Chain A
Amino acid sequence: QVQLQESGPGLVKPSETLSLTCTVSSGSISSYYWTWIRQPPGKGLEWIGYIFSSGSSNYNPSLKSRVTMSVDTSKNRFSLKLSSVTAADTAVYYCARGEIVPYYNMEFWGKGTTVTVSS
């Protein structure tokens, strides 16, 4: 059973860069769309973007200018960087494994990590 685990700081200061890593275990990181999704407090899910195992990526247009994703196939993990954060970026951040677009069903998810943006 594929397992995903998010890791990273739970508190980030405004204007700084949020950095999270998702480690994939019991499965290869090849040939899937590795995805980041977030849920702000009291709100719905928001797609941040994906990075394919080859390194190609696609980001939510509303976040594109601040998002960078990367993948490390040797360590079976992928990462998210979100720059110039504000309080609006406070959320539970999930990583997930996506099947081929446009079907893009995500069967395997991490449990989520809470990131708070505050000074």
Chain B
Amino acid sequence: QSVLTQPPSASGTPGQRVTISCSGSRSNIGTNTVNWYRLLPGTAPKLLIYRNDQRPSGVPDRFSGSKSGTSASLAISGLQSEDEADYYCAAWDDRLNGLAFGGGTKLTVL
């Protein structure tokens, strides 16, 4: 069981906006910043959002992140077929003194 909680699946049609949630506690999201990663089989994981809402260079502005209290979310607007992947949130956990991940959300583009 993961320290951070994500829905196991999400879906949308091309052009739609989808949101993936990530719920934690005071010792992780409540205190520290959240990062989001995309995983595709056979490729290196990709950092999409760091420090809650910052985009690394090269990540389209279709991707946005937010945080409130002990929860965070990743929004993807203008959904494209290439966005079909697994998405993970992560945050440092002060109680565990380690990195906590969400269980991952499989995004399907219908």
A94-B45, A103-B50, A106-B47 as given contacts; A46 in contact with B33, CB under 8 Å: no
A107-B96 in contact (CB<8A):
no
A58-B92 in contact (CB<8A):
no
B98-A102 in contact (CB<8A):
no
B44-A44 in contact (CB<8A):
no
A110-B47 in contact (CB<8A):
no
Cβ contacts under 8 Å, B103 to chain A: 44
How many Å from the CB of A67 to the closest CB on chain B? Answer: 12
A107-B45 in contact (CB<8A):
no
Cβ-defined partner of B35 (8 Å) among A61, A106, A112: A106
How many residue-residue contacts, CB under 8 A, span A and B? 69
A112-B44 in contact (CB<8A):
yes
A 60-103 contacts with B by CB, 8 A: 60-61, 94, 96, 99, 101-103
B96-A102 in contact (CB<8A):
no
A102-B92, A107-B56, A111-B43 as given contacts; A61 in contact with B98, CB under 8 Å: yes
Please tell me the size bucket of the interface on A: 20 to 34
Please tell me the size bucket of the interface on B: 20 to 34
Q: Is A45 an interface residue (CB 8 A)?
A: yes
Q: Is A34 an interface residue (CB 8 A)?
A: no
B35-A104 in contact (CB<8A):
yes
How many Å from the CB of B37 to the closest CB on chain A? Answer: 8
Most A C-beta atoms less than 10 A away, residue of B45, B46, B51, B101: B45
Cβ contacts under 8 Å, A96 to chain B: 45
Cβ-defined partner of A104 (8 Å) among B42, B56, B88, B99: B99
How many Å from the CB of B87 to the closest CB on chain A? Answer: 11
Interface digits, B69-107 against A, CB 8 Å rule (1 contact, 0 not)?
000000000000000000010101010111111111000
Q: A94-B45, A103-B33 are in contact. List 5 more A-B contacts (CB 8 A).
A: A102-B31, A104-B35, A106-B35, A106-B45, A107-B56
Give chain B's interface residues, CB within 8 Å of chain A. Answer: 2, 31-33, 35, 37, 39, 42-47, 50-51, 56, 88, 90, 92, 94, 96-104
Cross-chain pairs A/B with CB under 8 angstroms, 12 sampled: A44-B103, A45-B37, A45-B39, A47-B98, A102-B32, A102-B92, A102-B94, A103-B32, A103-B33, A104-B90, A106-B37, A109-B45
